[in-house]
A and B are shown apart, each in its own frame.
Chain A
Amino acid sequence: MNFRKTAILAAATSVLALGAASADTIKFAFIDPLSGPFGPSGEAAYTSYQLAAEHINENGGVNGDMIEIMGYDNKVNPKESLVQFQKAIDDGARYIVQGNGSSVAAALIEAVNKHNKRNPGDEVLFFNYAAVTPAFTNELCSFWHFRFDAHADMKMAAITDWIAERDDIKSVYLIGQDYVFGQAVASAAEGQLSEKRPDIEIVGNELHPLGKVKDFTPYIQKIISSGADAVITGNWGADMQLLMKAAAESGSEVPYLTFYGGSKGAVASLGEDGIGLLHQVSEGITNLEASDEQYALIEEYKERFPDYDYYYHRVWNVMDMFKKAAEEAGTNDPIPVAKALEGLSIEHAYGTATMRAEDHQIQQPLYISVVSDDVKYGVDNIDLGWELVDAGTISMDAAEQPTTCEMERPE
């Protein structure tokens, strides 16, 4: 009896060992909310990663290896994220992707730094596709962290450039989520507005708790009674959608300049009221001129995941840049890949993206778009979609911001 058990065990172990030795998958751990109020934000990105990985795998993978995206639900909680991070490491992940929540990203950067210091030879890289607190590529910058989204100061630069040209905007209201990212957005807005348009008055600077407010009507009424000519917000996920819902109900008629107006449901909440009012700044929108391949991709995504829209264009940038870097390095190991990523450029559907070597911050053109009813692709399964505003293209140089990063690099 005992002998048989041992034999089975031995057989099982040898199979496991075989599996480990042939190691032909590159494991990406996707650590983001997959349930709760921010679940849709995470899910939309997760599905994007899956599709991007599938396409790469169908075309022969990266250096012959296949990419596997493993999802870990962190509920936008930094503590939970660290647990999931450990789980991901135990599951063999060498690449971590995360984006929803700068509080989470901050915890992950620290965890990755620590892990890599303690486990030489087993390093992991952190690809941040959406957590945009500027500090991550400034004072907190790390060799192990790469950011594939324009950070808050860059997006704010795009927004304030646009406001600077609009003489009819005399006062601005700031509203945001009360955590490191919302605070960064508010201070960026204050700083840049006072520089570009000192005559503009900031009539309100409101921070509300992250994901806790159900009814934004009192906030909207405060905005209306402040008489602001425009609102700037960094809200995302449910906070964006509910803010827009309350704005539509209260008949608020000022432009909303947002980072994440593309959050699922925000456009549908505003409906027709949003036309010409809801703006967003992003690295690409589906209604820009693009190649037929890009149109095919947008349509394939919609067909596969009808609940969501092609929104996370930067996810494809992450995967394409990873593939290019790994193939240049000739290996899928994190350190050579990281070194190859530094200074790497790719041509993507909406322009050129370059990974700046000194702080690992992507540099790319940005686009300001507005809700319109005359578009090729709608969002939220209605006919409204995003259309580029006049002079809404911000070149890579105009969006670029200086960095204070002093990076320590491994040998």
Chain B
Amino acid sequence: METIVFGLLNGVSYGLLLFMLSSGLTLIFSMMGVLNFAHAAFYMLGAYFAFTITGSSSFWIALFIAPVLVGLVGAVVERYGLRRVHPNGHVAELLFTFGLAYLIEEVVKIVYGKTAVDYRVPELLDFAAFEIYGASFPAYRIFVIFIAVAMLVGLWFLLKRTRAGLIIQAALTHPHMVGHLGHNVPFIFMMVFGIGCALAGLAGVMAGNIFVTDPAMAVQMGPIVFVVVVVGGIGSLEGAFLASLLIGLLQNFAVGINLKFAEIFGFLGMSDLSEVGRISVSSLAPVLPFLLLVLILIFRPQGLLGEKEL
């Protein structure tokens, strides 16, 4: 029972954090067709900006300003970088964002140093929300859940229920038509890229103080974001949401399970002295998302809710 409750709580909070991080990536891909390798780097920028702003004012100001700043950086990158690279095709775009990721990391190292900065949870939320089976659940994580859900609803409303969303969607499939109707298509793309980066920045603001804010945080988060996006279906916001929760729950439940392979497959005659039999489920937890990635690519290449194949 404890395992299930803990698994659910942590799984949902971790999963929603993943969603915040990957929603921007999937948004950019679905709207612009750009697979942004530098996405996790924008997440890192969000955390660092929040650290700086928190230092000179407060976390609450950082919560609003930092994502906007990251969004501006993203918009500049689109306007003066990506837009010029775009005519050269997808490979050029991929390589551009790939290089950009390294560039941002190095700049962060130069500005903030190679080691972690002391970015903390705001004091107002630094208490235990409730206690369950002797372990406390931090209020800040509940705040994260709240922000993530608000973000999902906001995004969904913007894209599906507003005129702006309609134009954005149309600009992807029929850019010339939308252009002829008098909309500034390149500007729309710049906005979309900026918003996508701002979402990553917001995730950084929220996650930087739960985990560690250091120059390695982008590299550590990078792979898992792509797993979420691919599993959910590239370009599908709902899919990314589902996949984030799935991965969050999967990882957290696996850690909570004490069984070893030998105990599960004992009926097949596996002994707990054998190499495979000694592996415990919990030690496999961090690998599971990648296993899921491989399985999805083999059996359902379009992802859980995706429309197009990779």
A positions within 8 Å CB-CB of B: 34-37, 39-40, 43, 178, 206-209, 212-215, 217-222, 224-225, 238, 241-242, 245, 249-252, 264-265, 268, 307-308, 380-381
Contacts and interface: CB of A to CB of B under 8 A. Distances in A.
Given A178-B283, A221-B135, A43 B210 contact: no
Contacts of A217: 10
B129 to A, nearest CB: 11
A265 B116 contact: yes
B6 A221 contact: yes
A264 B118 CA distance: 11
Contacts of A307: 113, 115
B309 to A, nearest CB: 30
B87 interface: no
Contact of B216 (A37, A268, A381): A37
B244 interface: no
Contact of B115 (A40, A215, A245): A40
Main SS of the interface on chain B?
mixed
B210 A215 contact: yes
Interface of B: 2-3, 6-7, 10, 14, 113-116, 118, 128, 131, 133-138, 210-212, 214-216, 219-221, 252, 255-256, 280, 282-283, 285-287
A224 B133 CA distance: 8
B131 A264 contact: no
B114 A43 contact: yes
9 smallest A-B Cβ distances: which pairs?
A251-B136, A218-B255, A224-B135, A40-B115, A221-B6, A212-B286, A221-B135, A249-B138, A250-B135
A206 B256 CA distance: 11
Contacts of A37: 214, 216, 220
Contacts of A250: 135-138
Nearest to A306: B113
A22 B261 CA distance: 62
A251 B135 contact: yes
Given A222-B255, A224-B134, A250-B135, A242 B212 contact: yes
A241 B114 contact: no
A208 B280 CA distance: 10
Given A40-B114, A218-B256, 15 more contacts: A39-B114, A178-B283, A207-B280, A208-B285, A209-B287, A214-B220, A215-B10, A217-B10, A218-B6, A219-B255, A222-B256, A224-B133, A245-B210, A250-B137, A381-B118
